[in-house]
């Protein structure tokens, strides 16, 4: 059927075959990224602008590297220092940038839905790099690629997503993706952090880590997102670590070959024991970062093909 998207706003808009297309192309970019010379020309001549209205280390660096390796002109807008501070609206900023003819706009914003709104106002491809508690599609895709490479498949797996699900766009995008690819997802955490309505996504909810991790293939830990909490979601970090922090004892309930994932940034000793995070036999956290660059290259490559095709069609119509 082919990859037909104009933007990458959320996993909710992707068909399973489109997810597979992105991952297959990303596999090729993993090989390229392991060579000495890491250049391809899929984005040559195109302009990519990164607009991050929230702090980011790995996601922004990953998108920047992905664009550069594919030959795009990449610009990072320092949004903290920009006109936003002077009261300009998100849409005004987007319109200004639009006048500079970007081809790809990568946007992270603290409000759910902001990236979607922006995509309606510009005439280039927009990639959501995380919007509030809503979606973080490239994170779910890089997680999927990591799982597929480690487990040899991306279906019929038991995956436990643990911790602060309520505030996590990573959890939401992963839940949707893993469901679309026919995996069984469990959400594990205290009721304050795993609201019952998440069952709507077809996930099973567990309050107890030892039960929740029993015989799973993948253990995905989430950061406790303090900046999005406005009250007492947990008694104390110590108590939280005791009940929900991933350590060797809790991990022993998962399958012996279960992999451990974390999107980063990690709070060692809060949601995960540092030794587990660094255990190269169990943890694939570094692979996730590596897959991130490849997945972003693949997503931007596929979107750029559609941008170019649409422009050719419009030119023909004129």
- Give all strands (DSSP E) within 67-124, no chain letters: 73-77, 104-109
Query: Which conformational region is residue 101 in: left (phi greater than 0), alpha (psi within -120 to 50 degrees), or beta?
Result: left
User: Could you say whether residue 283 binds ligand NCD (CB under 6 A)?
Assistant: no
Partnered with residue 109 across adjacent β-strands are 131
User: Could you say whether residue 296 binds ligand NCD (CB under 6 A)?
Assistant: no
- Lay out the site mask for ligand NCD across 223-252 (x = CB under 6 A, - = otherwise): x-x---------------------------
User: Could you say whether residue 288 binds ligand NCD (CB under 6 A)?
Assistant: no
Question: What are the tokens at 96?
Answer: 């200004």
Considering beta carbons, is residue 69 or 167 the nearer one to ligand NCD?
167
User: Could you say whether residue 190 binds ligand NCD (CB under 6 A)?
Assistant: no
User: Could you say whether residue 71 binds ligand NCD (CB under 6 A)?
Assistant: no
- Lay out the site mask for ligand NCD across 9-28 (x = CB under 6 A, - = otherwise): --------------------
User: Could you say whether residue 139 binds ligand NCD (CB under 6 A)?
Assistant: yes
Considering beta carbons, is residue 46 or 224 the nearer one to ligand NCD?
224
Strands 204-206 and 184-188: parallel
**Count of CA atoms in the C-beta half-sphere (13 A) of 35:** 11
Considering beta carbons, is residue 64 or 103 the nearer one to ligand NCD?
64
User: Could you say whether residue 149 binds ligand NCD (CB under 6 A)?
Assistant: no
Q: How far is the CB of 261 from ligand NCD (least distance, A)?
A: 11
Considering beta carbons, is residue 11 or 46 the nearer one to ligand NCD?
11
Dist CA 44 CA 105 (whole Å): 15
**How many residues in the shown chain lie near ligand NCD by CB under 6 A?**
11
User: Could you say whether residue 146 binds ligand NCD (CB under 6 A)?
Assistant: no
Using the rule CB under 6 A, which residue among 6, 58, 151, 243 binds ligand NCD?
58
Are residues 168 and 185 in contact, defined by beta-carbon separation less than 8 angstroms?
Answer: no
Dist CA 160 CA 13 (whole Å): 23
> Where does residue 152 rank: exposed (0-12), middle (13-18), buried (19+ CB within 10 A)?
exposed
Question: The sheet that has 47-52: what strands, in order across it?
Answer: 73-77, 47-52, 104-109, 125-131
Return residues touching ligand NCD (CB under 6 A): 58-59, 130, 136, 139, 169-170, 223, 225, 263-264
């Amino acid at each position: 059927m082919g990859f037909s998207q104009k933007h990458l706003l959320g996993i909710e808009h992707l068909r399973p075959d489109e997810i597979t297309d992105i991952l297959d192309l990303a596999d090729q970019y993993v090989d390229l990224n392991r060579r000495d010379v890491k250049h391809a020309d899929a984005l040559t001549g195109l302009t990519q602008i990164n607009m991050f209205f929230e702090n980011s280390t790995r996601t922004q660096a990953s998108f920047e590297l992905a664009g550069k390796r594919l030959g795009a002109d990449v610009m990072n807008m320092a949004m903290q220092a920009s006109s936003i501070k002077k009261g300009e609206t998100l849409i005004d900023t987007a319109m200004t940038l639009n006048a500079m003819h970007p081809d790809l706009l990568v946007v992270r914003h603290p409000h759910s839905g902001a990236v979607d709104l922006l995509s309606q106002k510009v005439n280039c491809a927009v990639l959501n790099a995380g919007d509030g508690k809503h979606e973080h599609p490239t994170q779910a895709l890089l997680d999927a690629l990591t799982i597929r490479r480690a487990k040899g498949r991306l279906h019929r797996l038991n995956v436990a997503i643990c911790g602060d699900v309520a505030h996590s766009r990573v959890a939401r995008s992963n839940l949707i993706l893993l469901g679309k690819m026919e995996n069984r997802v469990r959400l594990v955490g205290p009721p304050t952090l795993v609201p019952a309505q998440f069952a709507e996504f077809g996930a099973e909810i567990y309050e107890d880590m030892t039960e929740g991790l029993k015989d799973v293939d993948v253990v995905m830990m989430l950061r406790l997102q303090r900046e999005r909490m406005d009250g007492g979601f947990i008694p104390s970090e110590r108590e939280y670590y005791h009940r929900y922090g991933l350590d060797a004892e809790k991990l022993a309930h998962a399958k012996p070959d279960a992999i451990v994932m974390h999107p980063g940034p990690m709070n060692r000793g809060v949601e995960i024991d540092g030794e587990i995070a660094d255990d190269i036999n169990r943890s694939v956290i570094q692979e996730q970062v590596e897959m991130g660059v490849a997945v972003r290259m693949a997503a931007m490559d596929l979107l750029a093909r559609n941008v170019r095709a649409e422009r050719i069609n419009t030119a023909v119509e004129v």
